Amino acid sequence: MSVPQPQDGTPILELRGVDKHFGAIQVLHGVDLKVYPGQVTALVGDNGAGKSTLIKSIAGIHPIDGGQLLFEGKPVTVTGPRDSAALGIEVVYQDLALADNLDVVQNMFLGRERTKGILLDEASMEQAARDTLAKLSVRTLKSVRQLVSSLSGGQRQTVAIAKAVLWESKVVILDEPTAALGVAQTRQVLDLVRRLADTGHAVVFISHNMVDVFEVSDRIAALYLGRMAADVPISEVDRTRVVELITTGRSGDLGIEPAAVAEVGA
Protein backbone atom coordinates (compact mmCIF):
# COMPACT_ATOMS: atom_id res chain seq x y z
CA MET A 1 0.00 0.00 0.00
CA SER A 2 2.85 2.36 0.75
CA VAL A 3 3.93 4.18 -2.40
CA PRO A 4 7.69 4.54 -3.09
CA GLN A 5 8.73 8.18 -2.87
CA PRO A 6 11.50 9.99 -4.75
CA GLN A 7 14.31 10.83 -2.34
CA ASP A 8 15.46 14.02 -4.07
CA GLY A 9 12.39 16.17 -3.50
CA THR A 10 11.16 15.79 -7.09
CA PRO A 11 7.43 16.46 -7.54
CA ILE A 12 5.67 13.28 -8.63
CA LEU A 13 3.43 15.44 -10.87
CA GLU A 14 4.42 18.79 -12.30
CA LEU A 15 2.72 21.15 -14.74
CA ARG A 16 4.78 23.77 -16.51
CA GLY A 17 3.14 26.59 -18.44
CA VAL A 18 -0.01 24.62 -19.26
CA ASP A 19 -2.51 26.31 -21.61
CA LYS A 20 -5.99 25.14 -22.54
CA HIS A 21 -8.40 26.66 -25.05
CA PHE A 22 -11.99 25.86 -25.88
CA GLY A 23 -12.41 27.44 -29.27
CA ALA A 24 -11.46 31.11 -29.02
CA ILE A 25 -11.68 31.10 -25.22
CA GLN A 26 -8.49 30.45 -23.25
CA VAL A 27 -9.36 28.77 -19.95
CA LEU A 28 -5.86 27.99 -18.58
CA HIS A 29 -3.03 30.48 -18.95
CA GLY A 30 0.51 29.17 -18.42
CA VAL A 31 -0.38 27.19 -15.29
CA ASP A 32 2.46 25.84 -13.13
CA LEU A 33 1.73 23.27 -10.42
CA LYS A 34 3.83 20.89 -8.31
CA VAL A 35 2.37 17.90 -6.48
CA TYR A 36 4.52 15.90 -4.06
CA PRO A 37 4.22 12.31 -2.79
CA GLY A 38 3.13 11.98 0.80
CA GLN A 39 1.48 15.40 0.77
CA VAL A 40 -1.99 16.84 0.33
CA THR A 41 -2.05 19.73 -2.12
CA ALA A 42 -5.24 21.80 -1.90
CA LEU A 43 -6.41 23.22 -5.23
CA VAL A 44 -8.64 26.22 -4.56
CA GLY A 45 -10.31 28.88 -6.64
CA ASP A 46 -13.63 30.54 -7.26
CA ASN A 47 -16.22 29.10 -9.64
CA GLY A 48 -14.88 29.56 -13.15
CA ALA A 49 -11.25 29.73 -12.01
CA GLY A 50 -10.35 26.65 -14.07
CA LYS A 51 -10.10 23.93 -11.42
CA SER A 52 -12.24 21.40 -13.28
CA THR A 53 -10.48 22.08 -16.58
CA LEU A 54 -7.12 21.66 -14.87
CA ILE A 55 -7.89 18.28 -13.32
CA LYS A 56 -9.53 17.05 -16.53
CA SER A 57 -6.38 18.07 -18.40
CA ILE A 58 -4.28 16.04 -15.96
CA ALA A 59 -6.72 13.14 -16.38
CA GLY A 60 -6.47 13.28 -20.18
CA ILE A 61 -10.11 14.22 -20.74
CA HIS A 62 -9.01 17.62 -22.11
CA PRO A 63 -5.58 17.27 -23.78
CA ILE A 64 -3.51 20.39 -23.14
CA ASP A 65 -2.80 22.91 -25.92
CA GLY A 66 0.52 24.17 -24.60
CA GLY A 67 3.05 23.63 -21.86
CA GLN A 68 4.32 20.40 -20.39
CA LEU A 69 3.33 17.65 -17.98
CA LEU A 70 6.03 15.84 -16.05
CA PHE A 71 5.56 12.65 -14.04
CA GLU A 72 8.28 11.54 -11.63
CA GLY A 73 10.49 14.19 -13.20
CA LYS A 74 10.08 12.99 -16.79
CA PRO A 75 8.04 14.68 -19.56
CA VAL A 76 4.93 12.68 -20.46
CA THR A 77 2.21 12.94 -23.07
CA VAL A 78 -1.34 12.41 -21.87
CA THR A 79 -3.82 12.17 -24.74
CA GLY A 80 -6.60 10.33 -22.94
CA PRO A 81 -7.73 8.86 -19.61
CA ARG A 82 -5.93 5.58 -20.30
CA ASP A 83 -2.58 7.40 -20.47
CA SER A 84 -3.29 9.11 -17.16
CA ALA A 85 -4.39 5.90 -15.45
CA ALA A 86 -1.33 4.06 -16.78
CA LEU A 87 0.90 6.59 -15.02
CA GLY A 88 -0.93 5.99 -11.74
CA ILE A 89 -3.23 9.03 -11.70
CA GLU A 90 -6.79 8.41 -10.47
CA VAL A 91 -9.54 11.04 -10.19
CA VAL A 92 -12.53 10.81 -7.86
CA TYR A 93 -15.07 13.20 -9.34
CA GLN A 94 -17.78 14.89 -7.34
CA ASP A 95 -20.51 12.61 -8.75
CA LEU A 96 -18.38 9.59 -7.58
CA ALA A 97 -19.47 7.50 -10.62
CA LEU A 98 -20.75 4.66 -8.43
CA ALA A 99 -23.51 2.26 -9.45
CA ASP A 100 -26.25 2.15 -6.81
CA ASN A 101 -27.46 -1.30 -7.86
CA LEU A 102 -24.06 -2.92 -7.31
CA ASP A 103 -22.29 -3.77 -4.06
CA VAL A 104 -18.99 -2.32 -2.79
CA VAL A 105 -16.79 -5.01 -4.37
CA GLN A 106 -18.57 -4.79 -7.71
CA ASN A 107 -18.16 -1.01 -7.74
CA MET A 108 -14.47 -1.13 -6.84
CA PHE A 109 -13.78 -3.51 -9.76
CA LEU A 110 -16.32 -2.06 -12.21
CA GLY A 111 -14.85 -2.25 -15.70
CA ARG A 112 -11.71 -4.00 -14.41
CA GLU A 113 -13.18 -7.26 -13.15
CA ARG A 114 -10.93 -10.21 -12.38
CA THR A 115 -11.79 -13.52 -14.00
CA LYS A 116 -10.91 -17.14 -13.48
CA GLY A 117 -11.50 -18.82 -16.80
CA ILE A 118 -14.84 -17.55 -18.05
CA LEU A 119 -16.18 -16.80 -14.56
CA LEU A 120 -15.70 -13.78 -12.34
CA ASP A 121 -13.12 -14.37 -9.59
CA GLU A 122 -15.39 -13.15 -6.81
CA ALA A 123 -13.22 -14.44 -3.95
CA SER A 124 -10.09 -12.66 -5.21
CA MET A 125 -11.94 -9.38 -5.80
CA GLU A 126 -13.63 -9.50 -2.41
CA GLN A 127 -10.32 -10.12 -0.63
CA ALA A 128 -8.59 -7.30 -2.52
CA ALA A 129 -11.42 -4.93 -1.62
CA ARG A 130 -11.18 -5.94 2.06
CA ASP A 131 -7.39 -5.53 2.04
CA THR A 132 -7.56 -2.06 0.47
CA LEU A 133 -10.16 -0.83 2.95
CA ALA A 134 -8.19 -2.32 5.85
CA LYS A 135 -4.96 -0.63 4.78
CA LEU A 136 -6.82 2.69 4.69
CA SER A 137 -8.16 1.91 8.19
CA VAL A 138 -11.75 2.11 6.96
CA ARG A 139 -14.11 0.83 9.66
CA THR A 140 -17.35 2.51 8.62
CA LEU A 141 -18.57 -0.23 6.26
CA LYS A 142 -20.45 -3.20 7.71
CA SER A 143 -19.80 -5.39 4.68
CA VAL A 144 -18.08 -5.16 1.29
CA ARG A 145 -21.18 -6.84 -0.07
CA GLN A 146 -23.49 -3.96 0.89
CA LEU A 147 -25.31 -2.34 -2.00
CA VAL A 148 -24.01 1.18 -2.61
CA SER A 149 -27.62 2.40 -2.55
CA SER A 150 -27.67 1.60 1.19
CA LEU A 151 -24.58 3.69 2.01
CA SER A 152 -24.37 7.20 3.46
CA GLY A 153 -22.66 10.04 1.61
CA GLY A 154 -19.47 9.61 3.62
CA GLN A 155 -19.42 5.86 3.03
CA ARG A 156 -19.91 6.39 -0.72
CA GLN A 157 -16.99 8.81 -0.77
CA THR A 158 -14.90 6.21 1.08
CA VAL A 159 -15.72 3.54 -1.50
CA ALA A 160 -14.85 5.89 -4.37
CA ILE A 161 -11.49 6.76 -2.78
CA ALA A 162 -10.70 3.12 -2.00
CA LYS A 163 -11.54 2.25 -5.61
CA ALA A 164 -8.95 4.80 -6.79
CA VAL A 165 -6.32 3.42 -4.41
CA LEU A 166 -6.98 -0.21 -5.41
CA TRP A 167 -5.35 0.35 -8.80
CA GLU A 168 -1.87 1.08 -7.44
CA SER A 169 -2.35 4.79 -7.95
CA LYS A 170 0.40 7.25 -7.08
CA VAL A 171 -1.63 10.44 -7.46
CA VAL A 172 -5.25 10.66 -6.25
CA ILE A 173 -7.27 13.75 -7.21
CA LEU A 174 -10.37 14.37 -5.08
CA ASP A 175 -12.99 16.76 -6.43
CA GLU A 176 -14.91 18.37 -3.53
CA PRO A 177 -14.96 15.15 -1.45
CA THR A 178 -16.65 16.77 1.59
CA ALA A 179 -19.33 18.70 -0.32
CA ALA A 180 -22.85 18.03 1.01
CA LEU A 181 -21.59 15.86 3.89
CA GLY A 182 -22.52 16.26 7.53
CA VAL A 183 -20.00 16.96 10.28
CA ALA A 184 -19.34 13.31 11.23
CA GLN A 185 -19.09 12.16 7.61
CA THR A 186 -16.77 15.04 6.75
CA ARG A 187 -14.53 13.99 9.65
CA GLN A 188 -14.33 10.45 8.27
CA VAL A 189 -13.41 11.65 4.78
CA LEU A 190 -10.78 14.14 6.01
CA ASP A 191 -9.18 11.40 8.11
CA LEU A 192 -9.09 9.19 5.03
CA VAL A 193 -7.54 11.96 2.92
CA ARG A 194 -4.78 12.35 5.49
CA ARG A 195 -4.18 8.58 5.62
CA LEU A 196 -3.86 8.54 1.84
CA ALA A 197 -0.98 11.00 2.05
CA ASP A 198 0.53 9.18 5.01
CA THR A 199 0.74 5.98 2.91
CA GLY A 200 2.83 7.89 0.35
CA HIS A 201 0.19 8.93 -2.17
CA ALA A 202 0.21 12.41 -3.63
CA VAL A 203 -3.25 13.85 -3.01
CA VAL A 204 -4.82 16.81 -4.83
CA PHE A 205 -7.71 18.03 -2.69
CA ILE A 206 -10.17 20.37 -4.39
CA SER A 207 -12.41 22.24 -1.97
CA HIS A 208 -14.22 25.51 -1.30
CA ASN A 209 -14.17 24.85 2.44
CA MET A 210 -11.21 26.71 3.97
CA VAL A 211 -11.63 24.93 7.32
CA ASP A 212 -11.16 21.56 5.59
CA VAL A 213 -8.31 22.89 3.46
CA PHE A 214 -6.30 24.18 6.40
CA GLU A 215 -6.95 21.08 8.47
CA VAL A 216 -5.76 18.49 6.00
CA SER A 217 -3.38 20.14 3.49
CA ASP A 218 0.39 20.50 3.27
CA ARG A 219 0.43 22.82 0.25
CA ILE A 220 -2.07 25.13 -1.37
CA ALA A 221 -2.43 26.08 -5.02
CA ALA A 222 -4.77 29.00 -5.74
CA LEU A 223 -6.21 29.55 -9.22
CA TYR A 224 -7.51 32.93 -10.34
CA LEU A 225 -9.31 33.14 -13.69
CA GLY A 226 -7.20 30.38 -15.21
CA ARG A 227 -3.87 31.57 -13.80
CA MET A 228 -1.96 30.10 -10.88
CA ALA A 229 -1.82 32.86 -8.27
CA ALA A 230 0.27 30.85 -5.78
CA ASP A 231 1.52 27.32 -5.16
CA VAL A 232 3.11 27.36 -1.71
CA PRO A 233 3.36 25.42 1.58
CA ILE A 234 0.21 26.08 3.56
CA SER A 235 2.34 27.24 6.50
CA GLU A 236 3.21 30.36 4.48
CA VAL A 237 -0.37 31.65 4.23
CA ASP A 238 -3.46 32.14 6.36
CA ARG A 239 -7.14 32.04 5.42
CA THR A 240 -7.31 35.77 4.76
CA ARG A 241 -4.45 35.61 2.27
CA VAL A 242 -5.93 32.57 0.53
CA VAL A 243 -9.30 34.32 0.16
CA GLU A 244 -7.49 37.35 -1.33
CA LEU A 245 -5.65 35.11 -3.79
CA ILE A 246 -8.91 33.44 -4.81
CA THR A 247 -10.87 36.68 -5.19
CA THR A 248 -8.24 39.11 -6.53
CA GLY A 249 -5.34 36.97 -7.71
CA ARG A 250 -2.92 38.65 -5.32
CA SER A 251 -2.14 38.97 -1.61
CA GLY A 252 0.84 41.02 -0.46
CA ASP A 253 3.96 39.69 -2.17
CA LEU A 254 2.15 36.59 -3.43
CA GLY A 255 0.13 36.23 -6.60
CA ILE A 256 -0.13 37.34 -10.17
CA GLU A 257 1.80 40.49 -11.08
CA PRO A 258 -0.36 43.62 -10.76
CA ALA A 259 -0.23 44.34 -14.51
CA ALA A 260 -1.40 40.79 -15.25
CA VAL A 261 -4.19 41.04 -12.67
CA ALA A 262 -5.41 44.24 -14.38
CA GLU A 263 -5.28 42.48 -17.75
CA VAL A 264 -7.26 39.49 -16.45
CA GLY A 265 -9.87 41.69 -14.84
CA ALA A 266 -10.28 43.87 -17.92
pLDDT at 130: 93
Query: Mean pLDDT score of the chain, rounded to an integer?
Result: 90
pLDDT at 6: 45
pLDDT at 236: 95
pLDDT at 22: 94
pLDDT at 75: 96
- Chain segment 238-262, per-residue pLDDT in tens: 999 999 999 999 998 998 887 665 5
pLDDT along the chain (266 residues), means of 10: 56 97 94 96 94 95 94 95 93 87 94 91 94 86 92 90 88 90 88 92 94 96 96 95 95 82 55
Query: Amino acid letter at 203?
Result: V
Domains of the chain: residue spans and CATH: 13-98+168-265 (3.40.50.300)
- For the chain, give the DSSP string: -PPP--SS---SEEEEEEEEEETTEEEEEEEEEEE-TT-EEEEEE-TTSSHHHHHHHHTTSS--SEEEEEETTEEE---SHHHHHHHTEEEE-TTTT--TTSBHHHHHTTTS--EETTEE-HHHHHHHHHHHHHHTT----S-TTSBGGGS-HHHHHHHHHHHHHHT--SEEEEESTTTT--HHHHHHHHHHHHHHHHTT-EEEEE-S-HHHHHHH-SEEEEEETTEEEEEEEGGG--HHHHHHHHHHSEETTEES-HHHHHHHH-
